[in-house]
């Protein structure tokens, strides 16, 4: 059952965007509203502009996974109040990219304590750049101290909050070098950030330690933690299933093997793109296959 908070078309268009939603600027963000979808009692997903936000609400307070943009924080808080929540006590960043973490810059000074994988905090604390390939590379400036995670973990961490165990797991480089999968064990659900993008081919940020083989290994490790009835929350796009994640992982492996075969035969990037190694999956994932092939090539040819 879905509880909907009205939102405009500009936000709806981004629900299936695979990753790195472009910062639209304050004027366009002013038009965005928030939609909420129920996962289970006390657990919802908020869609707006940027990465999907998971929200845990209960007797102990509120916890969010990812934070979108500072301009949207008042609307995110209002949406949480509509769901019966009040204060947000903790936040978890699945990774450091701005469309998942820029909201830290408002939530943090307002008292939310953030948690991330160690590498993600390190990248948030210094000036970085992102090269999405589909548009010019751009800077992501260092966050102020109040916006940085105050707790980090290397591979595994547990929280006990609102009556369930929440596991934060890192299985090595994937979308970036510092991704976290967030398991809500009481709801049989996981938020995977941009490791899993059911609406399109993923972006492997090889400039930030991302790795295609690592993404495949990460997906398999997450599947091993789940049962077939699990709910999978992607970084962007609709709430998905275990079977959706299985299919996504099969796609990654299939494309990886084809590109590796072409590299071994001496093919250039241009020749690999022309060979269409994603052809068997384009009807399902569409999107920017050239960027996916480019980033896959960059990691497999290191």
Let me know if residue 4 belongs to a domain: no
Let me know if residue 2 belongs to a domain: no
CATH number of the domain encompassing residue 64 = 3.60.15.10
Domain housing 256 = 9-300
Q: What is residue 8's predicted lDDT score, i.e. its pLDDT? A: 32
Let me know if residue 1 belongs to a domain: no
Let me know if residue 14 belongs to a domain: yes
Task: Provide the whole-model pTM.
Answer: 0.92
Residue by residue, pLDDT tens for the chain (302 residues) are 333 333 333 333 333 345 555 566 777 888 888 999 999 999 999 999 999 999 999 999 999 999 999 999 999 999 999 999 999 999 999 999 999 999 999 999 999 999 999 999 999 999 998 988 877 888 999 999 999 999 999 999 999 999 999 999 999 999 999 999 999 999 999 999 999 999 999 999 999 999 999 999 999 999 999 999 999 999 999 999 999 999 999 999 999 999 999 999 999 999 999 999 999 999 999 878 999 999 999 999 98
From CA 128, how far away is CA 105, in angstroms rounded?
A: 16
Q: How many domains does the chain have?
A: 1
| Owner of token pair 């040819």 | 301
Burial call 185-208: b when 16+ CB within 10 Å, e when fewer: ebbebbbbbbbbbbbbbbbbbbeb
Determine the straight-line distance between the first and last CA of the chain, rounded to whole angstroms.
47
Strand ranges in the chain using DSSP code E only, listed in sequence order: 35-40, 43-47, 53-58, 61-65, 90-92, 113-117, 128-130, 138-140, 151-153, 156-161, 164-169, 181-184, 189-191, 231-233, 240-241
Let me know if residue 3 belongs to a domain: no
From CA 136, how far away is CA 129, in angstroms rounded?
A: 11
Q: What is residue 17's predicted lDDT score, i.e. its pLDDT? A: 46
From CA 55, how far away is CA 87, in angstroms rounded?
A: 11
């Amino acid at each position: 059952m879905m509880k909907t908070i009205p939102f405009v078309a500009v936000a709806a268009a981004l629900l299936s965007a695979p990753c790195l939603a472009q910062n639209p600027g304050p004027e366009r963000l002013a038009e965005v509203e928030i939609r909420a979808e129920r996962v289970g009692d006390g657990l919802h997903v908020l869609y707006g502009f940027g990465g999907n936000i998971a929200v845990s609400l209960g007797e102990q307070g509120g916890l969010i996974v990812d934070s979108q943009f500072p301009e949207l924080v008042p609307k995110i808080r209002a949406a949480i109040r509509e769901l019966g929540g009040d204060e947000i006590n903790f936040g978890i960043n699945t990774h450091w990219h701005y469309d998942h973490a820029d909201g830290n810059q408002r939530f943090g000074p307002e008292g939310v304590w953030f948690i991330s994988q160690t590498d993600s905090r390190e990248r948030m604390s210094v000036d970085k750049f992102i090269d999405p390939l589909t548009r010019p590379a751009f800077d992501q400036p260092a966050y102020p101290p109040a916006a940085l995670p105050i707790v980090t973990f290397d591979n595994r961490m547990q929280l006990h909050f609102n009556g369930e165990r929440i596991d934060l797991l890192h299985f090595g480089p994937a979308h970036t070098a510092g991704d976290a999968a967030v398991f809500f064990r009481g709801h049989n659900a996981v938020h995977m950030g941009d490791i899993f993008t059911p609406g399109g081919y993923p972006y492997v940020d090889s400039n930030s330690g991302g790795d295609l083989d690592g993404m495949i290994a990460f997906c398999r490790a997450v599947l091993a933690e789940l049962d077939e009835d699990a709910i999978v929350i992607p970084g962007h796009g609709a709430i998905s299933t275990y079977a959706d994640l299985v299919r996504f992982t099969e796609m990654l492996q299939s494309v990886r093997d084809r590109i590796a075969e072409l590299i071994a035969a001496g093919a250039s990037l241009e020749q690999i793109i022309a060979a269409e190694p994603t052809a068997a999956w384009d009807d399902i994932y569409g999107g920017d296959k050239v960027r996916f092939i480019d980033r896959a090539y960059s990691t497999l040819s290191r």
